[in-house]
Amino acid sequence: MENILEVKNLHVSFDTYGGEVQAVRGVTFDLKKGETLAIVGESGSGKSVTTRALAKLIPSPPGRIKEGEILFEGKNLAQLSEREMQKIRGKDISTIFQDPMTSLNPTMKIGSQVMEGLLKHHKISKKEARKRTLELLDLVGLPDAEKRIDQYPHQFSGGQRQRVVIAIALACGPKILIADEPTTALDVTIQAQILELMKDIQKKVDSSIIFITHDLGVVANVADRVAVMYAGKIVEIGTADEIFYNPKHPYTWGLLGSMPTLDNEEESLVAIPGSPPDMLNPPTGDAFAARNEYAMEIDFVEQPPMFKVSDTHYAATWLLHEHAPKVEPPLAVQSRMKDNLHANVPGERKKEGDRS
Amino acid sequence: MSKEKLLEVKNLKQHFKTGRHTTVKAVDGITFDIFKGETFGLVGESGCGKSTTGRSIIRLYNATEGDVLFKGESVHGKKNKADLKTFNQKMQMIFQDPYASLNPRMTVMDIVAEGLDIHGLVKSPKERQARVFELLETVGLSKEHANRYPHEFSGGQRQRIGIARALAVEPEFIIADEPISALDVSIQAQVVNLLKDLQDRFGYTYLFIAHDLSMVKYISDRIGVMYFGKMVEIADSDELYKNPMHPYTRSLLSAIPLPDPDYERTRRRVEYDPEKDHDHSEEPVFREIKKDHWVLCTEKEFEQYKTEMK
């Protein structure tokens, strides 16, 4: 499949009084047409900064793209001026933000907010824009659009507001949709509706989605591919099945181990000890080493390169080096794995559709 | 094994006046018991009244109607100052937002020791310091942290400070109102493991309020599901997940995404529509459908649920 976006060795730093905070330290990935790529990681791992850099939404100063390329339709976005960027932002690349309570303008009717992008990027009349807006509100499943279009954000519930935000993002038919924790502030039932909506819309408009979240359940639901970020780097990337059923990086093991499953009887959660490193002074070697029970001496000295597991699956851990000792992932993670090697591990998740 | 009731909530109602003629019935007549040493999970979507329930139990709100009995004594009854103080000591709360619930102008030492001072539990500054150090160690912090201010800590560490503060006065019953919602996944597991570990060591009883059902299942012995101010189902946590009876519980369970792509591809969500899913011929009542499994239902639904029971 063809790549719509290529990010190469992206570095983003923030200059603060305390020094240079290296939020993103060499991120490389590509986004294929029509796919959903999920980026997961803890807060502070650089996942939001990475995607904001794609839309050039990093306030500068203090932030700056220090190094690297963002290739989109033959252009390097990292080099574009603000003026050129404005033509792309909202039209080709648009963003859905986390908090629907604060990302809408409380003093504007929602209709005008959806229309804004349309009027800015397309030469159409107000009347046409309004018609298109009604279609969009319909598309995102807002009932009674004719009436709702002239209402203000406070007249909508959280889930409805997020639908409006999605309508805004979709207004110009973007090629890339960046969704930054779009469901984190919502209830599970509403979250499920929004996720279904997004998948549904993706089928209809065929855009690529970058989905940021820290909820691995949501990832399993939406993602074709998954990138796991830690301390400003992608530590593992692969298809959803590869990441969930055959994870290689100890950090991914930790993330999976700290999520309880619903049908396990007695199994303790494996918490990742400690807390993420200070990005003012990122540690030498593997940034995860200090929290990693499988860390070897080399982890504290040299950063591991990306080792290839399969054509689509790469992980940055020295454990994959040919001279590394063989280690088994923690039991809680093994029980999730589905390859033949671990077929008879006790506690294998039973396949079930019988919960309802 | 007979279980000792620590807390009895009886027909608790909490109504808020929002205008001259309008009231919000945040909690509308709920009844449940919490046994000594167990963890009772309370789940439901935002606005269903689960936090209000927690706050009414600890008397942050005065109940509109109904009563809460703690060890057989009414929480909402008349009390003199001394009684209230001893009661407050036995029940403590851990709050949702570790950023807003700690006073930014107080050192960790003073935050944790505030309860000790109020209840006169320590005699000398030396004893006070020793107790605070001990508490910090208990929750996995070190004594070097005592002289710092809240802004110097990460979210997970702050939540540990909040827990240390709640433990300081040696309570018997702790209400944890969404203690992990504001934290990262890996840190959530740390805090939940800490709460479990503390329960094993000191025998605390928890009321755990949350909307993250998978975490609630993990930590709770029994779970109550709330919907629009009413308790719709109570059961042992395994039982509730295996045999959800109330249509709302089913819809809630079917909406949880799990970290398993194969399962996610086949998951079917059940919609809940109160109009369609219920028999409206009579007021539903709370009925015991199986030992210790209670569902809010009408006579007709009761018979129907019984046949569906696995």
What pLDDT, on the 0 to 100 scale, is given for residue A276?
A: 79
Q: What is the CATH number of the domain that holds A14?
A: 3.40.50.300
What pLDDT, on the 0 to 100 scale, is given for residue A327?
A: 82
ipTM of the complex: 0.77
Higher-confidence position of B226 and A61: B226
Assigned token pair, A306 = 């990306």
What pLDDT, on the 0 to 100 scale, is given for residue B2?
A: 57
Would the CB atoms of A217 and B258 count as touching at under 8 Å?
A: yes
Residues of A in contact with B253 (CB under 8 A): 262, 355-356
The number of domains in chain A is: 2
Is A353 among the domain residues?
A: no
Last residue of a domain, one of A223, A245, A280: A223
Contact A38, A223 (CB under 8 A): yes
All domains in chain B, ordered by first residue:
5-241 (3.40.50.300), 244-310 (no CATH)
Crossing angle of helices A250-257/B185-202, nearest 10°?
50
Beta bridge partners of B24: B16
Do A233 and A140 lie in a common domain? no
Would the CB atoms of A268 and B193 count as touching at under 8 Å?
A: yes
The residue whose two tokens read 């400070």 is B161
Contact B89, B166 (CB under 8 A): no
Is A352 among the domain residues?
A: no
Do A54 and A18 lie in a common domain? yes
Give the containing element (helix H, strand E) for B82. Answer: helix B81-90
Q: How does DSSP assign A289-302, residue by residue?
A: GGG-TT--GGGGTS
| Contacts of residue B174, Cβ cutoff 8 Å, sequence gap at least 6 | B91, B92, B93, B94, B166, B167, B204, B205, B206, B207
Cα A186 to its chain centre, rounded Å, is 17
Cα-based angle A156, A161, A166 (whole degrees, multiple of 5): 150
Do A68 and A94 lie in a common domain? yes
Do A219 and A233 lie in a common domain? no
Task: Provide the H-helix boundaries in chain A.
Answer: 47-54, 82-88, 110-121, 126-139, 145-148, 158-170, 188-205, 216-222, 240-245, 250-257, 331-334
Distance (Å, whole) CA A317 – CA B16 = 56
Q: What are phi and psi of B12, to 5 degrees?
A: -70, 130
Smallest CA–CA distance, residue A287 to chain B, in Å, is 16
- The tens place of each residue's pLDDT in chain A, 356 residues long, gives 788 999 999 999 998 888 888 889 999 999 998 899 999 988 778 888 899 898 888 888 888 888 899 999 888 988 888 888 888 888 899 998 877 778 899 999 999 999 988 888 888 899 999 998 998 888 888 888 888 899 999 888 888 888 899 889 888 888 999 998 888 777 888 888 888 888 888 888 888 999 998 888 899 999 999 999 998 999 999 999 999 999 999 999 988 888 877 665 556 777 788 777 888 888 888 888 888 888 888 888 888 888 889 989 999 888 888 888 888 887 777 777 765 344 333 333 333 333 43
Do A72 and A202 lie in a common domain? yes
| Contacts of residue B191, Cβ cutoff 8 Å, sequence gap at least 6 | B156, B159, B160, B163, B179, B180, B183
Do A16 and A120 lie in a common domain? yes
Distance (Å, whole) CA A149 – CA A165 = 13
Would the CB atoms of B254 and A217 count as touching at under 8 Å?
A: no
Residues of A in contact with B254 (CB under 8 A): 355-356
Do A132 and A164 lie in a common domain? yes
Interface test with A, best of B191, B260, B265 (most A CBs within 10 A): B260
Domain that holds residue A26: 3-223
Residues of B in contact with A265 (CB under 8 A): 238
Do A242 and A149 lie in a common domain? no
Distance (Å, whole) CA B190 – CA A168 = 38
Cα B112 to its chain centre, rounded Å, is 21
Do A285 and A173 lie in a common domain? no
Assigned token pair, A36 = 């959903």
Would the CB atoms of A190 and B45 count as touching at under 8 Å?
A: yes
Would the CB atoms of B257 and A244 count as touching at under 8 Å?
A: no
pLDDT, tens digit, for every residue of B67-87? 899 888 888 877 788 888 888
DSSP symbol at B166: H
Would the CB atoms of A259 and B268 count as touching at under 8 Å?
A: no
Q: What are phi and psi of A217, to 5 degrees?
A: -65, -45
